[in-house]
Amino acid sequence: MPALDAFAIQALEKLAKNQRIRTLWPLESAGGAWVKDAHGARYLSFASNDYLGLSQHPMVVGAAKAALGHSAGAGASRLAGGNHPLYSVLESQLAQWKQTEAARVFGSGYLANLGVISALMGAGDVIFADKLSHACMLDGAKLSGATLHRFLHNDMASLKAQLEAHRTQGKHALIMTEAIFSMDGDAAPLTEIATLAEAYDAWLLVDVAHALTALPTLPKDRTIMVGTLSKSLGAYGGFVVGSQTVIDYLSSSARSLLFSTALPPAVLAAASAALGVWMVDAAPAKKAMQHAQNFAAAFDLPAPDAAIVPLVIGEENTALQAMEMLKAQGFYVPAIRPPTVPVGTSRLRFSLSALHEDADVERLIQAVKELFA
């Protein structure tokens, strides 16, 4: 067996050969619409999923500061250390927001998917996942031991064919999709998926991490929703919502909840305050959506379903070059490459936020037009 360093060198060489090396961009400061790099250069950022700008909202920051006065960290898991009262407040809000009986908060959206999927499914079960489902949903499926089948993105004929071929091979079946796809910004046909779930006796897991607008009504007796507090709520953490009985079961069996430390109180307070703002103020979501619509329209792209607009470029290096050229103009738009997206579909992913001004989006449109002129 090679020494650890020798192993890592070899593995890095392989990653480099496949252009899969990732590096962290050193920043001096971040937060809001602007980031400053380690050399002091400022960039208008279109990389953040803080679509509503809630991470910057005075009530959200204020709530976090107030809770920080008591303690920086939680110290133990929720089950071992006791349940902080802010959890109860936040979970009631989440259940009310998503109109379900109950909610459970996890350490992150990633941990929520991992824990929920592996608690619901097991060996002898079958999972049907959209091809573009987020990595944490696929990792949850792997961890569960169920057999995973992937259907073509948003293609109901493909899902039906997969169900027809494989549903009877599993005791339980679960169809998984994102409500809004993180790298494409398009919506899943949830009503049609729910009809197929009903027809083939499958449960439905919908990840609502990037959804800004209301979803269609889905059958409560077979649907579970997973989401994150880390994107449009501007805080950190993840959640699952569903019936009280299902949440009770997950609370005793989702290992990423049982065996992971509770969130710091300041994070819970921030998420709770952010949700309070979102539930009474529709303006930030409208503004982010309007920016996305204006941006998409400028490039004759279909009207977006969320505040995410991708410009698919193709080759990884070309996407990286485009990112650098925009950086030279003062805009930070991340190049998204495999394995995050399929090979040959590397892209610039524009994430629009209520923190952007109309003039910011106009300037961005001009810069991107010049880039592709």
Ligand X SMILES: Cc1ncc(COP(=O)(O)O)c(C=O)c1O
State the residues that interact with ligand X by CB under 6 A.
108-110, 113, 134, 136, 178, 182, 207, 209, 228, 230, 238
Asked about 49 being catalytic, the answer comes back as yes
Could you say which of 57, 149, 231, 287 is catalytic?
231
Cβ closest to ligand X, residue 113 vs residue 162: 113
Report the half-sphere exposure of 72 (CA within 13 A, side-chain side): 0
Cβ closest to ligand X, residue 45 vs residue 182: 182
Provide, rounded to whole angstroms, the least separation between the CB of residue 226 and ligand X.
7
Provide, rounded to whole angstroms, the least separation between the CB of residue 105 and ligand X.
11
Could you say which of 207, 305, 316, 360 is catalytic?
207
Provide, rounded to whole angstroms, the least separation between the CB of residue 135 and ligand X.
8
Could you say which of 45, 182, 230, 353 is catalytic?
182
Provide the Cα torsion 160, 164, 166, 171; round to 10°.
Answer: 100
Cβ closest to ligand X, residue 109 vs residue 170: 109
In sequence order, the 6+-apart residues with CB closer than 8 A to the CB of 124 are: 146, 170, 171
Residue closest to ligand X (Cβ): 109
Strand order of the β-sheet with 238-242 is: 102-106, 238-242, 223-228, 203-207, 173-178, 126-130, 147-151
Provide, rounded to whole angstroms, the least separation between the CB of residue 208 and ligand X.
8
Rounded Cα distance between 236 and 66, Å, is 17
Asked about 45 being catalytic, the answer comes back as no
Cβ closest to ligand X, residue 207 vs residue 305: 207
Cβ closest to ligand X, residue 110 vs residue 295: 110
Asked about 182 being catalytic, the answer comes back as yes
Beta bridge partners of 128: 149, 175
Asked about 231 being catalytic, the answer comes back as yes
Rounded Cα distance between 61 and 310, Å, is 30
Q: How many CB atoms lie within 10 A of CB 222?
A: 16
Provide, rounded to whole angstroms, the least separation between the CB of residue 108 and ligand X.
3
Nearest to 262 by CA among 71, 72, 77, 67: 77
Asked about 294 being catalytic, the answer comes back as no
Provide, rounded to whole angstroms, the least separation between the CB of residue 372 and ligand X.
26
Could you say which of 91, 130, 178, 316 is catalytic?
178
Cβ closest to ligand X, residue 93 vs residue 133: 133
Relative to beta strand 238-242, strand 308-314 is: unpaired
Could you say which of 84, 134, 287, 291 is catalytic?
134
Q: Is 84 left (phi over 0), alpha (psi -120 to 50) or beta?
A: beta
Rounded Cα distance between 266 and 68, Å, is 5
Asked about 134 being catalytic, the answer comes back as yes
- Which are the catalytic amino acids? 49, 134, 178, 182, 207, 210, 231
